Structure 1
Amino acid sequence: MGKGYRQGRIGEEIRKIISRMLLRELKDPRLSGMISITGVDVTRDNSYATCYVTILDTSGDEEKEHERQAQAIEGLESARGLIRREIGKEIKLRHVPELIFKIDRSMEYGRHIDEVIRKLEHNDE
């Protein structure tokens, strides 16, 4: 079955709260720069919320990018309690979901697919 309407609304509210906190409240140096919460998936029973994180890094160095991603995830995990408390204040839920932070790889995948399509188009010509 598909994701429920309620889980989608809760996920969107959680995404907004975390995004706002990244901009204004979280002062961890590991969370500096362009960090975006691209989506939040909430389980049916609202016990877990998987938060997908994108770090926009224009350096082009893949090793630095992976290190930066690991640091950002560490920073978010260390602020997990503060984030959950804020979610509990703003959203009236019986149980605030446990937060799981994952790197969103959809942009990398999209670039890879574009590259494959360009190669196919180039081979056709």
Structure 2
Amino acid sequence: MSEYRLERIGRLIQELIGSLIVEGRIKDPRVDSFISITRVKVSRDLSFADVYVSDYRTTKGPRQGIAGLQSAAGFIQAQLNAGMRIRQIPRLRFHEDPGIREGFEMIKKIEGLVHNDGS
């Protein structure tokens, strides 16, 4: 399967899961609006999709949200099946993506250096 098609499918999965989170259609209390789907990597044979999840809050990681998403994976896959026009919906695997949290921490460190230099 072409790399471009895999990327398009990944972006579509990312958008659909993101809209489910924002609209509050995933009823698990561990999944809240602070969770963000940063990227989706689809396997060449469409059997799996690795979904990378990040949390905007720096004090609490996305582990609870990932557990909530994993428990709602059947519902999410059913919603993907309704919203996508492909024969096989990939099985979802959720992983932590610490990129956003690390970015916020880096900004805080830089602000601390600038603040200490300016004093």
**Is the Cα contact below 8 Å between 2:22 and 2:33 reproduced in 1?**
no
Name the stretch that deviates more: 28-37 or 78-87: 28-37
Structure 2 residue 97 is the aligned partner of structure 1 residue 104: yes
2-structure distance, mates of 1:85, 1:33? 21
What is residue 22 of structure 2 aligned with on the other side?
Answer: 23
Q: Secondary structure at the match of 1:32?
A: coil
Return the letter of the residue paired with 1:22: I
2-structure distance, mates of 1:33, 1:95? 28
CA deviation after TM superposition for structure 1 residue 111, in Å:
5.8
Structure 2 residue 88 is the aligned partner of structure 1 residue 95: yes
* TM-score normalised according to structure 2 size: 0.79
Q: Deviations over 1:83-124 (max 9, x none)?
A: 0011111111111101010111223454677769x98xxxxx
Matches within 5 A, 1:42-81: 42-57=42-57, 61=59, 65-66=60-61, 69-81=62-74
Percentage identity across paired residues of the two chains: 34
Between structures 1 and 2, the one with greater helix share: 1
2-structure distance, mates of 1:109, 1:30? 22
Structure 2 residue 30 is the aligned partner of structure 1 residue 37: no
1-structure distance, mates of 2:64, 2:7? 28
Return the letter of the residue paired with 1:50: D
Structure 2: segments with no counterpart, 5+ residues: 114-119
Aligned length: 110
**Is the Cα contact below 8 Å between 2:53 and 2:94 reproduced in 1?**
yes
The 3 A distance-change label for structure 1 pair 26 and 54 is same
Structure 2 residue 13 is the aligned partner of structure 1 residue 5: no
* TM-score normalised according to structure 1 size: 0.76
CA deviation after TM superposition for structure 1 residue 26, in Å:
1.0
What is residue 83 of structure 1 aligned with on the other side?
Answer: 76
